[in-house]
Chain A
Amino acid sequence: MASPGRQGGGGGGGALSTRGGSGARRMKWALELSLGNTRSRGDRQGGQGDVVYPIGYSEKPVPDTSIQETDKNLVEKRCWDVALGPLKQIPMNLFIMYMSGNTISIFPIMMVCMMAWRPIQALMSMSATFKLLESSSQQWLQGLVYLVGNLLGSALAIYKCQSMGLLPTHSSDWLAFIEPPQRMEILGGGMVL
């Protein structure tokens, strides 16, 4: 059966249509209650033609809410993955640190910024992560591991800053803030005129 195209003429009965003869004018709205045969999913994607769905049909898949029933171990594993994520990044960071060197230029600075920013970001969104880990039985341990991993990551970034000389740890870094000492005596004079 020929499917009623958008441009096509009215199909079966019961179709409410206010279509004009030409394609130039479009209708504000159109409701078609065609009872044509349902098409397969692949067919719908492939074809340009309109598909008429039943009212209430959603194109998106409805999330599966039956997860509670899956294996508990899988949840545990997933949570450990989340918790160990920062720690796993550390070797990678170490390698980047080694490669970027201690010179102060745009790329090492960017790397250091990234390295410092990621753990901080993670620490900021700690509560969200905890929510994620809620389902796990070892929630607190995992949270601790996650925290330690991030702290280690930021410590690594600080160490990198230190080795690049970006931390104001030396007395020379505070030199500009030393006020000139106030003089206690007033002195004047010179050669006898």
Chain B
Amino acid sequence: ATTAMAKLILLCLKFVTLCGSIGAVFEDQVGKFDWRQQYVGKVRFSHFDTHVQSSKKVLVATENNVFAALNTRTGDLFWRHVDKTGPEGSIDALLQHGQDAVLVVGNGRLLRSWDINVGGLNWEIVLDSGSFQAACLSGQQDNVKHVAVLKKTVISLHYLSNGHQKWIENLPESETVDYQAVYSGGNGEVYALGVVPHSHIAIVVYSADDGEIIKQVSVEAPWLSNIQGSCAVISQGMLTCVDPAAVSLYMLDLHAESQMTQVPLQSLGLEVVPGFRPVLVSTQPNPAQQPLSEFFVQLGPENYVLLQLNNGQIVTLRDFKPAMLVSFVTAGEKTVAAVMSPKNKTVNQSDTSNENDHFLTTACSINLFSAETGRRLLDTTMIYSLDPNVGKPEKLYVQAFLKKDDAVGYRVMVHSEDHALSFLQQPGRVMWTREEALSDVVTMEMVDLPLTGTQAELEGEFGKKADGLMSMVLKRLSSQLILLQAWIAHLWKLFYDARKPRSQVKNDVTIENLSRDEFNLQKMMVMVTASGKLFGIDSKTGSILWKHYLEDVPSNAAFKLMVQRTTAHFPHPPQCSLIIKDKDTGLATLHVFNPIFGKKSHVTPPALPQPILQSLMLPLMDQDYAKVLLLVDDQYKVSAFPSTKNVLQQLQEMASSIFFFLIDSSQGRLSGYRLRTDLSTELIWEVVIPTEVQKIVSVKGKRPNEHVHSQGRVMGDRSVLYKYLNPNLLALVTESTDQHQERSFIGIILIDGVTGRIIHEAVQRKAKGPVHVVHSENWVVYEYWSTKSRRNEFSVIELYEGMELYNSTVFSSLDRPHAPQVLQQSYIFPSAISTMEATLTEKGITSRHLLIGLPSGGILSLPKMFLDPRRPEMVSEQSREENLIPYAPELLIRTEWFINYNQTVSRVRGIYTAPSGLESTCLVVAYGLDIYQTRVYPSKQFDVLKDDYDYMLISSVLFALFFATMISKRLAEVKLLNRAWR
């Protein structure tokens, strides 16, 4: 037995060395075919590093639980820390003092201090349980030493230097009082501010030294419900609140035990826009000192007022109208206010129905004003032109610095509602823009580029239909002429570039010079992000070629992106359709656009008055070569887009062969429908999976653009085992509702989507999700957590028709008398996985690999041949003939299988694969927090010469041989002649 084992191991090793088909990249190939972009997400808190005058850092803490420092000159990352996803890693507060940044993480679970310069962790402590409310720095005599953390029931003070807890105190009456804010004015006292809604404010003053309660006050405030939203502390501890109902300010001196004084805004000559809730903006430049006595009140969406508290009296310094955003900033001793106001407005012609958005702002100006006087500072205007495809600015982060002449200079980071960060310098130069929306890509497609840029431009000409033979001919001729011209220009450019040294040839990709390369390796990546911003990214360089912000996209929208027309139908522009569905109302809108330029299409999308359940793309085309999109509404009626007469006629002819299925996960209902000629539907099958036992997690069909070259597998005896290639097969994953580790299970159901026939059912007992599934060709691979063995396991199901094909010419689900053979095998995988996808190539000849995104940030390319249920336990002559690897339960992770070498991709959520023009090459995009694009060659580059192929040597040898033959031929002739004369 031991010899057999040894043999087996040897064989194993042999196979492993044989199958090592992906070589890792060589050092000089790094970054040649791949690129990575790192993002941080939507910014929640941001601070400029001010402790060094010439600092280039801006700290950002984001909703994606990322804490990072950006370079203000370039927008690149200095360092980045990615915490756990979900509420466990959420950043609740960011406080900055000197070169330390203090973060409260995970709803008050952790307190961390980071060193800004290098991004290293100074210290981390675990806080007592309790939900986090607020935190502030506390100082004494210009010396900030502590950080105060207010929780629901306790307040604690920690040393800034090491995080140790100085004291912790229970808050009095914490059952009734809702403590919401903490304030320290630099006099050795810490104020905890709480509110009993619609009753009174509770103020507890603690001594910063020992945590003793110095004072406890309760002040009547029946109008107040929330401190954080409507109050601010200004000047020498004046708690100022705004009451939207009475349209007045209330002020309370925290030091004196007194009543709140009411200051009606009307008495200051101020008017609030009806229905608007006023907001206070105050500033405390130094936590060891009192806040400034100047503050802003926002009276309307575009109206701010700068007020000053002067000897107990409120004075209006300046009324800013219109003003979109304001922000206080301190440079040295000076505090200034930066105000952004719309510069010029143009009437928005297209959107006159909406009265609020009557005007469209095209540019904004930013000015600095002295906080003390409200006077405008000279030479501080900055113009920020707004791109119509970009969201409105949402927040200003200002970096102010003192120039040599003591004047205040500044730079601004604008955060817009599409999550973009733009960094501006005077007089309005955008230094960099970070598209943080790309940290949350929902879905994407890759679209072939047009053949040449000129061709694409021509498309506009041909969009209109021409009538008359003559004009058609003329158009045809002119287009051909333009093509010829473009081709000559291209040749000229090639010739011209060839003479220049390689380093000088700049490959700046712009939307104008976009063109498909020889092997279709460069494509347009159309990415849809959760914020509703669409991007067109060049797959070769990663540069953003177009962006389009869709306003009014609900935060919980579901997206579905489809390519209706590719670039192959030249006079017609390519066309993509994006269904955006509001999950609350169920109503959907359709955005139709050109994926190459990002422009909205001229085609008017259909109005969708009914909630939409699903859509399906038919392989039918209308006369303009746009694929027909069917939208199924909640009455199970179908509407077609485009819905021309031609399409409707085709649909009527085809109706009996068009089927669709819907899966309602909440009811556990799967139903199949058939289209009727009048575009209504009939239910033809229904399967109910009881939701009390298990719920449907996901369903995977086959990708429509997948090609399978080989219809079977060759056995060792040279017979064929035919694959069961049912294009209508669906893989359904269910998870048990019972999460107990002894009783939990996952199920895989293979079901025919046309007939509803269950082809195969597998239940994995003592297993838990999340289940990742890949369904392709005749196999389904899924991964789950085995609670019994506490490990990740892979399982593969393969379906075969048997040794004979039932019908080799057509496949109809309705005529399948024989059930397929099902083979299954499982393996142990040493790591958890984040996502999984299979490679895809043009013709499907190349062997398949599974691309697995790991939580560690690696992307693994695992050959499918390792996941093959025909792997034998005992090696036989036949299995060796078939090149089957003997079964081994463990799947190894080999380091050269990582396609992204050291380019870690954080939080991979999806992997997209697309075929290229080369059969050997598959394009891969991994997206998550980062975006990574590369190419993989699952069967090596069998159709491409190697990178280091020695053209010089080969051509010189060829030429040498050619000349040698020429010369020797001549010599031979001469010799023959001579001999003849002899």
Interface residues of A (CB under 8 A from B): 165, 170-173, 175-176, 178-193
Contact = CB atoms under 8 A, between A and B. Distances in A.
A189 B664 CA distance: 11
B471 interface: no
B239 interface: no
B809 A187 contact: no
Contacts of B659: 185-188
A190 B725 contact: no
A176 B710 contact: yes
A186 B701 CA distance: 13
What 3 A-B pairs have minimum CB-CB distances, sorted nearest first? A188-B616, A184-B812, A189-B660
B297 interface: no
B710 A175 contact: yes
30 contacts: A165-B718, A170-B718, A170-B720, A172-B719, A175-B711, A175-B720, A178-B712, A179-B808, A180-B725, A181-B725, A181-B808, A182-B811, A183-B811, A183-B812, A184-B811, A185-B812, A186-B616, A186-B618, A187-B727, A188-B617, A188-B660, A189-B663, A190-B661, A190-B662, A190-B699, A191-B665, A191-B698, A192-B665, A193-B579, A193-B612
Contacts, number: 119
B662 A192 contact: yes
A141 to B, nearest CB: 42
B865 interface: no
A174 to B, nearest CB: 9
B315 interface: no
B715 A172 contact: yes
A170 B707 CA distance: 24
A44 to B, nearest CB: 22
A189 B808 contact: no
Contacts of A178: 711-712, 805, 808
Contacts of B813: 184-185
Contacts of A193: 558, 560, 579, 581, 583, 588, 612-615
Contacts of B699: 190-191
Given A172-B720, A193-B579, A186 B658 contact: yes
Nearest to B815: A184
Contacts of B698: 191
B827 to A, nearest CB: 28
B712 A175 contact: yes
A192 B664 contact: yes
B614 A187 contact: no
A170 B719 CA distance: 6
Interface string B572-589: 000000010101000010
Given A185-B814, A189-B616, A191-B663, A175 B808 contact: no
Interface string B78-94: 00000000000000000
Nearest to A170: B718
A181 B614 contact: no
B640 to A, nearest CB: 13
B689 interface: no
Interface string B694-706: 0010110100000
A192 B614 contact: yes
B923 to A, nearest CB: 23
Contact of A187 (B654, B665, B707, B753): B753
Contact of B630 (A173, A175, A181, A188): A188
B757 to A, nearest CB: 13
A191 B612 CA distance: 12
Nearest to B617: A188
Contacts of B661: 187-190
A189 B708 contact: no
B585 to A, nearest CB: 12
Nearest to A173: B718
Contact of A185 (B583, B630, B657): B657
Contacts of B616: 186-189
B819 interface: no
Contacts of A192: 613-614, 662-665
B4 interface: no
A124 B440 CA distance: 74
Given A180-B725, A186-B658, 4 more contacts: A179-B808, A186-B616, A187-B728, A188-B615
B752 to A, nearest CB: 9
B350 interface: no
A178 B811 CA distance: 13
Contacts of B619: 186
A182 B808 CA distance: 9
B657 to A, nearest CB: 5
Nearest to B803: A171
A172 B718 CA distance: 6
B461 to A, nearest CB: 34
Contacts of B808: 178-179, 181
B810 A187 contact: no
B753 A189 contact: yes
B714 interface: yes
A65 to B, nearest CB: 35
A188 B665 CA distance: 17
A173 B714 CA distance: 9
B789 interface: no
Contact of A171 (B612, B614, B709, B719): B719
A91 B122 CA distance: 89
A45 to B, nearest CB: 22
Nearest to A182: B810
A192 B581 CA distance: 11
Contacts of A186: 616, 618-619, 654, 657-659
Contacts of B618: 186, 188
A183 B658 CA distance: 11
B2 interface: no
Contacts of B560: 193
A186 to B, nearest CB: 5
Nearest to A165: B718
B663 A181 contact: no
Contacts of B632: 189
B810 A183 contact: yes
A121 B47 CA distance: 90
A165 B698 CA distance: 46
A171 B699 CA distance: 35
B807 interface: yes
A156 to B, nearest CB: 22
B76 to A, nearest CB: 38
Contacts of B657: 184-186
A72 B93 CA distance: 120
Contacts of B754: 185, 187
Given A187-B753, A191-B665, A192-B663, A180 B707 contact: yes
A93 B754 CA distance: 60
B711 A183 contact: no
A180 B701 CA distance: 18
B662 A189 contact: yes
A155 B814 CA distance: 48
A180 B558 contact: no
A173 B712 CA distance: 11
Given A171-B719, A178-B711, A183 B663 contact: no
Interface in B667-718: 696, 698-699, 701, 707-712, 714-715, 718
A185 B728 contact: yes
A47 B709 CA distance: 78
Contacts of B805: 178
Interface in B587-635: 588, 612-619, 630, 632
Contacts of A165: 718
A100 to B, nearest CB: 20
A183 B720 contact: no
Contacts of A184: 657, 810-814
A111 B719 CA distance: 27
Contacts of B615: 188, 193
Contacts of B718: 165, 170, 172-173
Nearest to B629: A188
Among B612, B664, B718, B807: residue with most chain A CB under 10 A:
B718
B308 to A, nearest CB: 53
